[in-house]
Amino acid sequence: MNADQAFAAYERVRHRLPPSLSPSLPAGASGAGCQRLANLDALADDIDVFLLDAFGVLNIGDTAISGVPERIAGQQKAGKRVLVVSNAAGFPHGMLMEKYARLGYDFAPEDVITSRKATLQALHRAPPMKWGLMATESLGRGDIEAFDMDYLAEDAAAYDAVDGFVMLGSAVWTETRQSLLEASLRANPRPVYVGNPDIVAPREAGFSIEPGHFAHRLADATGIEPQFFGKPFGNIFDLAFTQLQESDLARTVMVGDSLHTDILGGQAAGVKTALISDYGFFAGKDLAEPISVSGIQPDYILQQP
């Protein structure tokens, strides 16, 4: 899937996403109302709290974006609050912290807010159930040991035996597994928790297909509406605001590379938004058309994180 196809996929599922809070854009509007700046440092006078997406802002795949670890460290040294707000549901939190340290970032564990955390919070609040799990088994059960979960593979009986489904990571998911999941849900509708609403994520060699892609497909195929955890939905921002406690939303910015997750989510949460233009989702693309078509207009467009 390329960027144009991914953008079209997000537009097709707009009815499941929060409404845009951008001012109504006139026909042909191209984001001219966005303030265009070089990078995060240019926001320092107006922003006290930075909420940063990971993929496309901190890193592309397993590679840090050049110069960003140093910029983040500078903001932290200047007293800015910097939190990661990421739809990184596939990795246990400890593994994620090791990755950020390896890439040159210094974040406190509590300042990394993920859709995995939002999903786990919901699971703790739910009645005890047996869950079927979409995840990469080789990554282990970190953070989910307390729950009765079976990894889903090619055994149809395993899908029928559970009380609900949790979709955390799709790296090893297959079309066969998707068909088994949809068939089981058609025969017996049950809850579906989606720990990563992303349809795609930017990697070194293109886009990976994420759980949101499969979740929207099963919703279309079965009529079951999944419960999404992570951007653009409010549950992940609620976790971030709890960590921040008292903060001025007018001096808080969500920085990301996606209109439909980062910018839309930040707007719905009531904070300012900044879209990255040269890395991640829209790298090498003209932003005028997607802003016009989607009607989602960030406050800032940053050339680099």
Domain boundaries, the chain: 3-10+34-116+231-302, 123-228
pLDDT computed for residue 27 by the predictor? 44
pLDDT at 198 > cutoff 50: yes
**Distance in angstroms (rounded) separating the CA atoms of residues 135 and 281:** 23
pLDDT computed for residue 30 by the predictor? 52
Rounded to the nearest integer, the mean pLDDT of the chain is 93
Q: What confidence category does residue 25 fall into, taking pLDDT thresholds of 50, 70 and 90?
A: very low
Same topology between domain 3-10+34-116+231-302 and domain 123-228:
yes
Contact (CB, 8 A) for 149 and 193: no
**Cis, peptide link before residue 232, omega less than 30° from 0:** yes
Q: What confidence category does residue 26 fall into, taking pLDDT thresholds of 50, 70 and 90?
A: very low
Task: Say whether 201 sits in a helix, a strand or coil.
Answer: strand
**Distance in angstroms (rounded) separating the CA atoms of residues 142 and 152:** 17
End-to-end C-alpha distance for the chain, whole angstroms: 24
Q: Kindly compute the dihedral angle of the four CA atoms of residues 228, 186, 123, 58, in this order, to the nearest 10 degrees.
A: -40
Considering the domain delimited by 3-10+34-116+231-302, tell me its CATH architecture. Answer: 3-Layer(aba) Sandwich (3.40)
pLDDT computed for residue 22 by the predictor? 62
**Crossing angle (nearest 10°) for helices 211-222 and 175-187:** 40
pLDDT computed for residue 138 by the predictor? 92
Q: How far is CA 113 from CA 201, 216, 217, 244, 262, in A?
A: 17, 24, 27, 11, 14
Task: Say whether 50 sits in a helix, a strand or coil.
Answer: strand
**Distance in angstroms (rounded) separating the CA atoms of residues 227 and 191:** 8
Contact (CB, 8 A) for 168 and 142: no
pLDDT computed for residue 7 by the predictor? 94
Question: If you average pLDDT over residues 251-275, what whole number do you get?
Answer: 97
pLDDT at 150 > cutoff 90: yes
Question: If you average pLDDT over residues 145-166, what whole number do you get?
Answer: 97
**Distance in angstroms (rounded) separating the CA atoms of residues 178 and 184:** 10
Number of Cβ within a 10 Å radius of residue 19: 11
pLDDT at 194 > cutoff 70: yes
Residue 255 phi/psi, 5-degree rounding, is -110, 125
**Long-range contacts, stretch 200-205, CB < 8 angstroms, 24+ apart:** 200/1, 200/6, 200/9, 200/281, 201/55, 201/87, 202/55, 202/56, 202/60, 202/61, 202/257, 202/279, 202/280, 202/281, 202/283, 203/60, 203/61, 204/60, 204/61, 204/62, 204/63, 205/61
Q: What confidence category does residue 89 fall into, taking pLDDT thresholds of 50, 70 and 90?
A: very high
More confident residue, 281 or 1: 281
Question: If you average pLDDT over residues 222-226, what whole number do you get?
Answer: 96
**Crossing angle (nearest 10°) for helices 115-125 and 234-244:** 100
Q: What confidence category does residue 208 fall into, taking pLDDT thresholds of 50, 70 and 90?
A: confident
* Beta strands at 35-37 and 49-52: parallel, antiparallel or unpaired: unpaired
Question: If you average pLDDT over residues 244-262, what whole number do you get?
Answer: 93
| CATH tag for 123-228 (out of 3.20.20.100, 3.40.50.1000, 3.40.50.300, 3.40.50.150) | 3.40.50.1000
Task: Kindly state the tokens that stand for 62.
Answer: 């397993």
pLDDT computed for residue 23 by the predictor? 58
Q: What confidence category does residue 175 fall into, taking pLDDT thresholds of 50, 70 and 90?
A: very high
